[in-house]
């Protein structure tokens, strides 16, 4: 076949290839912008006076740039903000540690031990992912009330752990299953006991998955409102989310102060996510690809 110009004819294959990528980029960018608009409005209104924030849309800040720090001063001077922050810390950090430890132990037992019916138990744990957490709130409340753990930090810890355990087992189990069996067998030949294999072989190789689970659970627990309202009725023990939910005032006169508090509430999980971003991404995609 004769050639024309010495260059094989390729048609518009590159154009066809790039078109779906361009469409995907446009759709994804639009989704990110739409998802971010409420957060942007929240942050902008946290710096605006009450009269401007309630009488104008937040986008008018571009034509009427009026800002103030009074909302943050009021929020930081509000005594319950500090107690709510302390409660959030006392709830979130122990809960995250308990979820990681219990999920790792359960996933290891179901993947790498000779536990009877471990495959059926693993399938049952995965099936629990389809159960909405809200359905388990009332039974959890009844159990905690029966053992006297309502209005206590251990009670809310146990409630969060029971809710997060199925996902934790699923995520870590997917990662643990990729560890070469030869490493486990070699450790057994060297005389390592079951807990030695977990602590000295499996856990060091699963840092990204553990960090991913810790990051996700930290975000879930820190931002939780419903479970805290039900398990901790005592106002003095409620976390920051529950405090902010009631901080707008009876007529919404402190809505800009509430926006300032909500903006402050976003800072700790944002820092945690940015610090653990790489490990988070590696852990989330664990099990999706095989080496």
Would you say how long the chain is, in residues?
Answer: 291
pLDDT at 164: 93
Q: Give the tens place of pLDDT for each residue, 138-189.
A: 999 999 999 999 999 999 999 999 999 999 999 999 889 888 889 888 988 8
Distance CA 131, CA 140 (A): 14
pLDDT at 16: 46
Predicted TM-score (pTM) of the model is 0.82
Look-up of token digits 């009631």: 246
Delimit the domains of the chain by residue range: 13-62, 76-284
Fold of 76-284: MetI-like fold (1.10.3720)
The reported pLDDT for the residue numbered 236 is 84
96 neighbors 276 (Cβ within 8 angstroms): no
Phi, psi of 231 (to 5 degrees): -80, -30
Question: What are the distances in angstroms from CA 54 to CA 2, 60, 68?
Answer: 74, 12, 15
Which residues of the chain have a pLDDT value below 70? 1-17, 279-291
Q: How far apart are CA 62 and CA 64, in angstroms?
A: 6
Q: Which residues contact 140 (CB under 8 A, 6 or more apart)?
A: 159, 162, 231
């Amino acid at each position: 076949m004769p050639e024309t110009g010495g260059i094989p004819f390729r048609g518009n294959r590159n154009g066809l290839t790039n078109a779906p990528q361009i469409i995907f980029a446009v759709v994804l960018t639009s989704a990110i912008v739409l998802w971010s608009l409420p957060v942007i409005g929240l942050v902008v209104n946290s710096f605006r006076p009450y009269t401007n924030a309630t009488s104008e849309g937040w986008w008018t800040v571009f034509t009427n740039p009026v800002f103030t720090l009074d909302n943050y001063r009021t929020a930081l001077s509000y005594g319950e903000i500090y107690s709510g922050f302390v409660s959030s810390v006392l709830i979130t950090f122990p809960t995250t540690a308990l979820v990681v430890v219990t999920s790792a132990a359960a996933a290891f037992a179901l993947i790498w031990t000779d536990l009877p019916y471990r495959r059926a138990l693993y399938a049952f744990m995965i099936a629990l992912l389809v159960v909405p957490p809200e359905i388990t709130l009332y039974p959890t409340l009844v159990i905690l009330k029966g053992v006297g753990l309502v209005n206590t930090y251990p009670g809310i810890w146990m409630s969060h752990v029971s809710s997060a355990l199925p996902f934790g087992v699923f995520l870590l189990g997917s990662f643990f299953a990729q560890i070469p069996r030869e490493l486990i067998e070699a450790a057994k030949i060297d005389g390592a006991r079951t807990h030695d294999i977990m602590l000295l072989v499996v856990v060091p190789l699963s840092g990204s998955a553990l960090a991913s689970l810790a990051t996700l659970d930290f975000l879930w627990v820190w931002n939780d409102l419903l479970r805290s309202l039900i398990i901790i009725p005592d106002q003095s023990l409620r976390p920051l989310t529950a405090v902010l939910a009631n901080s707008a005032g009876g007529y919404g006169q402190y809505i800009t102060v509430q926006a300032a508090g909500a903006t402050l509430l976003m800072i700790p999980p944002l820092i945690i996510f940015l610090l653990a971003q790489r490990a988070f991404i590696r852990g989330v995609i664990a099990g999706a690809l095989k080496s």
